[in-house]
């Protein structure tokens, strides 16, 4: 660069440790005192750190190392091509260096043609021709340097740049350059550049999601809210968004931090003035015109002309606070954006255009962040694996907690780690609690605070909203629905991403409380008193035993949840143990293990029990024969006494107006149902397993709010008169009442709105035709009805029916004609029936998704099946000879042990078909021991749809978002045969193989792996088969255990060789993205050089072994194995009809990879004798493999 003396004052503002962002290359004699100076000052005003050499270079001097370093460290180089630029060798040396950095580092180059045309520079004409004539004379002994400069000019002049002749004023050109740099620069800065010294994990994905909500190309004014619990990273996200966008997209900007706290300290009007000062460039005259509730027309016009970015961090729940800050100033210029963060979504729902909820970090993000703070590096110390897992589990994805905990454990011994983690169970980290407690203190109502504490102490497990509402309602709370809504709004409880089938069979999200918030609530309760008996809630067995054994309970206690499984001794409770607990409204005594024997002993019974305060009374394995005589149940909402020794609950009528639920299940000694005639609001009665009951009282028909009655296993029940005539029943369970015959069922009087009816295990012989009137019936269960012989054709009238269960009805030989379409029936269970064939009219079950026919030994053939069927089970159908007309929608086909099966029709799941995850079944195609299959079926019909199914699965996985929360069950395929399909290009004899990979193996077209192996016919695998796929890294001696099969692929004794194929989510591109992040193709291609695959039989007492001894069988042998590396072009070939199979090679493949078989061992990679090598390891961290 030619000599130039820049402004020392501007340069002095740059901290010496900061790298330059923009390098200016220019000819000083042409532009130093004019255009370049204006450009430099404009960049400085935008706080863009620019380098402008201020040292005059004399002829013959070499360019300084400092200048070369400045070029290398810059993100953008601006080259100002003026008339005499090429006459300076220093400028040309700068140009060559800049071009080198562009090619090596991706540096952005912006050419500016100042007073000269691009073609002149590109072709070296006019003044550039004269300059090069002199250069060729001067450097005639080193013409290669001159030629290098020519090439550099030609290449850079061909880039997109700006021509000064296209701008009327130089100031316009300067403004355009600065705007261009402002747009490009944030995209070049890494997160470490933006937040130097901070370890930010999982940020980039979330930033992109928020940027998409901002819709920066839109001209409207948008308000975006960022919402989440304390410590989740809202401020960090808002800060990065602000830094990335504020100077590149907006004319004015302001970031107000900690608005809630600052507003409390100094008032909201103070913050308003600070906001206006930033947006108005501290124009004092303008600021004096502002008033809190009105705005002058002049100021309104000023704001309408200014595109601004405003970030309001940590607003409270008051909409007043937001309005005060922006009142009158929300009429910003088009394209303006307002972002604010809060823990309370209610304020967002009022004003925000979009709401972004910040989710917890996933396991791998949590692990990376924890390692950076606990070990000051990205990898995990091998001997701290289990302790790190405990710490990560405690933090449960909260970044603040992960950082605080990791930092507190740094440089400490393993014993100190254990002590710290143990202590956290009782004494939470104060730094974390301080942040989280703010949300609790921000609750507007004491009643809602009590609801929060109840959930934290008693109901933290996942509940559906209606279930949680019922639990809290029964615990004596008022306005429960409002309280739950408020807690959700403030991120104190959250809706789970995973939807589960709710009580009515509808997918619903469950509510959950974050573990740290639970601990916050519990620490608040513990802080009430050092004496447990003076705390409002008790939930730990040790503290409860202390209170009950010492009679230290008090009127302070409102709730007790006692898991007696946590105690080993028998706790003897005195009769007066509860006598002082006047305000006890919630009591739950239960056991979670299979042995329900209660260790809570009442040797002298209970007297002076409780007052009339308890709303929820649950005591599992209650040992007394009756409740205390002075027990007053007038406030009871729920009474649960399962597995008790009761002979009588109470003798006389009781005031039960509030009672909604009573559970007396498995009361073996209870001979009659207690008088519930006054329970006008009773909704649920559970009498399951009350084997001494004989009749259902007639007054049940008068309990008009009763919705659900459970009588399952009431084996001596013979009189159900109380079921007749009831109008509001929704569910009746009468399973396994073998004395109940069809003539005794009150079928004619079942209510029209009945949704669920269980009559399995009864003596019913025929389903009455009147069942067709139950138009609201959703689930009908008649399983194990040994005498059932017929189903009426009127069954098709049940238009709401979703599930029909006829499992193990051996005398049912005919399934009725389906005379009308049934759209809702999804599941039909006919296993173990005597059915010989299904009617052709079964196609009228147009909504059928799952059909179970296992063990129908008389079934010989199937008709055309409904087009939407995805699951078909015909295992052990010994008379079945063919499977024709299979629908293309079929995902799961189980046909093992169909010994007469000869042929099946070909079917294909469409590529990219979204694999069903609404039903918890593994994806399988099974033909185990179907030895009569003809050769064409074995070689073509089964492998063809099987491989098509794998392609469909792999393509589907790629389409799914990374946060997809569906059930991920593996796809596995088994059929008789001894040949691995040709698409498995890597094949080896034995149970293992090694593959050498080229650098480009893992590109964006890669869909994942499928594995295949041949099992010897003499094998008998009782526990299952498992496999391991390991990556060989650039460190040749290291293996990264990418995947240990989590599923045990069971296979009973087989009578011929069998082919086994597996594909699952962990082996797909989705699995790669979950483990390695969005940049997984680059990471894996650069680090992973080979693959090691090993498959072995599994036995529970020996995790990995090569043989097993089982009833005379000496070993389980894997004869062959193979791997299919699936690429998008595989799917393209199938779609294009290109059915040519790839050649199977052991040395080369289409990308030049090689594979090496190694028989039953892989000693060159892992010693088969070292059993420890095959123990389950963590899938993300392994010696020698750091990401």
Catalytic residues: 94
Helix (H) or strand (E) run with residue 265 in it: helix 259-266
In this structure, are residues 226 and 340 in contact, taking their beta carbons and an 8 Å threshold? yes
Phi, psi values for residue 129, rounded to 5°:
-65, -45
Q: How far apart are the C-alpha atoms of 179 and 167, rounded to whole Å?
A: 15
Between CA 474 and CA 462 the distance in angstroms is: 17
Q: How many residues does the chain have?
A: 1187
Axis-axis angle for helices 170-188, 35-45 (nearest 10) = 50
Crossing angle between the packed helical segments 399-409 and 414-424, to the nearest 10 degrees = 140
Q: Residue 428: what are its φ and ψ, rounded to 5°? A: -60, 160
Q: Are strands 600-601 and 616-619 parallel, antiparallel or unpaired?
A: unpaired
Q: Where are the beta strands (DSSP E) in 176-329?
A: 222-227, 252-256, 308-315
Name the 3-class secondary structure at 991: coil
Distance between CA atoms of 545 and 885, rounded to whole angstroms?
A: 66
CA 210 from chain centre, in angstroms, equals 18
DSSP secondary structure letter of residue 532: G
The strand pairing partners of 1043, in sequence order, are: 1029
Burial class (CB in 10 A: 0-12, 13-18, 19+), 552: middle
Which residues does residue 972 pair with via DSSP β-bridges, in sequence order?
Answer: 924, 1062
CA atoms of 811 and 757, how far apart (whole Å) = 21
In angstroms, the CA 832 to CA 909 distance is 29
Question: Which residue, chain included where needed, has tokens 């002979």?
Answer: 647
Separation between Cα atoms, residue 51 and residue 36, nearest integer Å: 12
Query: What sections of 892-1000 are H helices per DSSP?
Result: 935-936, 943-959
Q: How far apart are CA 315 and CA 317, in angstroms?
A: 7
Dig out the tokens for 1032 from the structure.
């060989």
- For the four alpha carbons of 788, 792, 794 and 795, in that order, the dihedral sign comes to positive
Among 460, 475, 451, smallest CA distance to 516 is for 460
Phi, psi of 287 (to 5 degrees): -65, -35
Residues paired with residue 1059 on neighbouring β-strands, in sequence order: 975, 1014
Specify whether the CB–CB gap between 289 and 298 falls below 8 A: yes
For residue 400, which of 315, 254, 525, 514 has the smallest C-alpha distance?
514
CB atoms within 10 A of CB 287: 13
Is the CB of residue 522 less than 8 Å from the CB of residue 539? yes
CA-nearest of 16, 111, 119, 145 to 73 is 16
Tokens 């399983």 sit at which residue? 783
């Amino acid at each position: 660069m030619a000599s130039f003396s820049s402004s020392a004052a501007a340069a002095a503002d740059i901290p010496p440790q900061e790298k330059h962002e923009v390098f200016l290359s220019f000819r000083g004699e042409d532009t130093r005192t004019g255009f370049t100076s204006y450009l430099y000052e404009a960049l400085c005003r935008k706080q863009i750190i620019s380098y402008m050499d201020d040292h005059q270079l004399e002829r013959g001097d070499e360019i300084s190392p400092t200048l070369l370093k400045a070029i290398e460290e810059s993100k953008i180089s601006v080259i100002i091509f003026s008339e005499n630029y090429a006459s300076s060798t220093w400028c040309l040396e700068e140009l060559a260096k800049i071009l080198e950095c562009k090619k090596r580092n991706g540096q952005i180059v912006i050419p500016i043609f100042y007073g000269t045309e691009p073609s002149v520079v590109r072709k070296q004409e006019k003044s550039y021709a004269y300059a090069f004539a002199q250069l060729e004379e001067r450097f005639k002994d080193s013409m290669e340097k001159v030629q290098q400069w020519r090439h550099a000019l030609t290449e850079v002049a061909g880039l997109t740049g700006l021509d000064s002749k296209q701008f009327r004023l130089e100031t316009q050109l300067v403004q355009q350059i600065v705007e261009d740099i402002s747009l490009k620069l944030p995209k070049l800065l890494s997160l470490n550049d933006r937040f130097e010294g901070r370890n930010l994990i999982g940020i980039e994905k979330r930033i992109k999601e928020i940027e998409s909500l901002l819709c920066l190309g839109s001209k409207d004014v948008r308000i975006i809210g960022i919402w989440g619990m304390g410590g989740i990273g809202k401020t960090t996200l808002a800060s990065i968004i602000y830094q990335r966008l504020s100077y590149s997209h907006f004319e004015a900007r302001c970031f107000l931090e900690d608005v809630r706290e600052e507003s409390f300290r100094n008032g909201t009007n103070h913050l308003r003035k600070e906001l206006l000062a930033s947006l108005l460039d501290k124009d004092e005259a303008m600021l004096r015109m502002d008033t809190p509730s009105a705005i002058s027309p002049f100021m309104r016009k000023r704001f309408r002309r200014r595109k601004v970015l405003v970030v309001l961090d940590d607003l409270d729940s008051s909409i007043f606070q937001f309005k005060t800050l922006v009142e009158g100033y929300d009429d910003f210029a088009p394209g303006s954006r307002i972002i604010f963060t809060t823990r309370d979504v209610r304020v967002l729902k009022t004003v925000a255009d979009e709401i972004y909820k910040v989710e917890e970090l996933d396991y791998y993000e949590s692990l990376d962040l924890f390692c950076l703070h606990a070990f000051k590096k990205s990898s995990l110390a091998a001997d701290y694996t289990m302790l790190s897992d405990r710490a990560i589990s405690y933090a449960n994805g909260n970044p603040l907690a992960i950082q605080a905990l990791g930092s507190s454990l740094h440089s400490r011994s393993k014993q100190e780690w254990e002590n710290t983690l143990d202590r956290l169970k009782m004494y939470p980290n104060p730094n974390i609690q301080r942040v989280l407690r703010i949300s609790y203190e921000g609750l507007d109502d004491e009643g809602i605070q009590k609801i929060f504490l109840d959930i934290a102490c008693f109901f933290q497990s996942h509940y559906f909203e209606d279930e949680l509402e019922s639990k809290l309602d029964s615990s004596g709370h008022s306005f429960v629905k409002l309280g739950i809504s408020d807690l959700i709004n403030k991120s104190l409880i959250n809706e789970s991403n995973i939807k589960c089938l709710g009580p009515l069979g509808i997918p619903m999200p469950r509510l959950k409380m974050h573990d740290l918030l639970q601990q916050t609530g519990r620490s608040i309760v513990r802080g009430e008193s050092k004496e447990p008996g003076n705390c409002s809630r008790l939930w730990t067995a040790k503290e409860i035993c202390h209170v009950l054994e010492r009679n230290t309970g008090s009127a302070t206690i409102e709730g007790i949840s006692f898991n007696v499984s946590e105690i080993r001794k028998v706790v003897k409770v005195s009769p007066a143990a509860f006598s002082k607990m006047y305000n006890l409204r919630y009591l739950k005594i239960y056991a979670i293990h299979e042995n329900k024997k209660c260790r809570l002993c009442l040797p002298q019974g209970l007297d002076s029990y409780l007052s009339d305060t308890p709303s929820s009374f649950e005591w599992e394995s209650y040992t007394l024969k009756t409740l205390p005589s002075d027990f007053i149940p007038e406030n009871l909402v729920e009474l649960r006494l399962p597995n008790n020794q009761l002979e009588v609950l109470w003798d006389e009528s009781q005031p039960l107006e509030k009672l909604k639920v009573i559970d007396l299940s498995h009361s073996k000694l209870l001979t009659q149902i207690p008088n519930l005639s006054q329970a006008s609001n009773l909704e649920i009665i559970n009498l399951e397993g009350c084997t001494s009951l004989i009749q259902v009282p007639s007054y049940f028909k008068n309990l008009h709010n009763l919705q659900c009655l459970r009588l399952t296993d009431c084996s001596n029940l013979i009189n159900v008169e109380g079921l007749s005539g009831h109008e509001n029943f929704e569910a009746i369970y009468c399973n396994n009442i073998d004395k109940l015959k069809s003539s005794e069922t009150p079928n004619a009087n079942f209510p029209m709105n009945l949704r669920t009816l269980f009559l399995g295990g009864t003596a019913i012989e025929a389903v009455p035709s009147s069942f067709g009137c139950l138009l609201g019936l959703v689930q009908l269960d008649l399983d194990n009805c040994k005498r059932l012989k017929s189903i009426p054709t009127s069954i098709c009238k049940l238009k709401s029916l979703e599930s029909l269960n006829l499992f193990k009805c051996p005398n049912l030989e005919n399934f009725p004609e389906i005379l009308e379409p049934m759209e809702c029936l999804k599941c039909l269970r006919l296993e173990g029936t005597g059915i010989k064939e299904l009617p052709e009219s079964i196609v009228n079950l147009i909504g059928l998704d799952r059909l179970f026919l296992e063990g129908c030994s008389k079934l010989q053939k199937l008709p055309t099946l409904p087009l939407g069927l995805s699951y078909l089970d015909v295992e052990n159908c010994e008379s079945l000879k063919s499977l024709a007309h299979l629908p293309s929608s079929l995902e799961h086909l189980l046909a093992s042990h169909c010994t007469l099966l000869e042929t099946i029709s070909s079917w294909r799941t469409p590529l990219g078909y979204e694999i069903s995850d609404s039903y918890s079944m593994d994806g399988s195609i099974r033909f185990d021991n179907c030895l009569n299959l003809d050769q064409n079926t074995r070689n073509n019909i089964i492998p063809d749809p099987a491989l098509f199914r794998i392609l469909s699965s792999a393509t589907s996985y790629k389409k799914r978002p990374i946060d997809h929360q569906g059930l991920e069950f593996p796809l596995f395929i088994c059929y008789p045969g001894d040949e691995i399909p040709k698409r498995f290009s890597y094949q080896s004899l034995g149970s293992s193989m090694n593959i050498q990979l080229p650098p480009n193996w893992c590109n964006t077209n890669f869909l994942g792996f499928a594995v295949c192996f041949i099992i010897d016919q003499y094998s008998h695998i009782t526990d299952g088969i498992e496999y391991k796929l390991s990556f060989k890294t650039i460190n040749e001696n290291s293996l990264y255990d990418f995947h240990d099969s989590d599923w045990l692929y069971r296979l009973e004794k087989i009578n011929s060789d069998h082919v086994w194929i597996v594909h699952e989510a962990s082996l797909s591109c989705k699995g790669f993205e979950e483990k390695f992040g969005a940049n997984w193709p680059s990471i894996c291609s650069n680090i992973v050089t080979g693959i090691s695959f090993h498959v072995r039989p599994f036995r529970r007492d020996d995790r990995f072994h090569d043989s097993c001894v089982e009833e005379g069988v000496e070993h389980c042998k894997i004869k062959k194995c193979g791997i299919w590396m699936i690429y998008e072009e595989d799917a393209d070939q199938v779609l294009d009809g290109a059915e040519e199979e790839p050649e199977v090679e052991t040395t080369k493949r289409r990308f030049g990879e090689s594979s090496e078989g190694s028989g039953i061992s892989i000693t060159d990679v892992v010693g088969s004798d070292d059993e420890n090598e095959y123990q389950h390891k963590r899938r993300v961290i392994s010696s020698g493999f750091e990401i």
